[in-house]
Amino acid sequence: MASPFTETVYKATRQIPKGKVATYAQLARMCGNPKAARAVGAAMRTNPDIPKTPCHRVVASDGSLTGYSAGFGIKTKREMLLAEGVSFKGTKVNLAVSQWQK
């Protein structure tokens, strides 16, 4: 835990089912602040590990893979999502079929 908001973001992130992805804005909305997408990203930056919080399942609003500090960065993130069965559209995630639906 780093801060209350960050804690909430982690909790939301852990709820993302395998093979699905959620956008920063979507998680922000779950946390109670639909406009805190940026803060969500800041929280993710603090989270160094995968098994604890699947930050690799969190993508930008258009499905683009941004950030990620582990492994080879974006490249690693893409590989992981692909391995989980997430549908990809070139460099982006095919949100139409892989976006998490609450």
Interface residues with DNA (CB under 7 A)? Answer: 2-6, 23-25, 33, 35-47, 55-56, 58, 60-62, 66-70, 90-91
Least separation in angstroms between CB 59 and DNA: 8
> Is position 55 annotated as part of the catalytic site?
yes
Contacts 24+ apart (CB under 8 A), 25-29: 25/61, 26/99, 26/100, 27/58
3-state secondary structure of 35: coil
From the candidates 9, 55, 86, 93, give the one annotated as an active-site residue.
55
Nearer to DNA, 17 or 88 (CB): 88
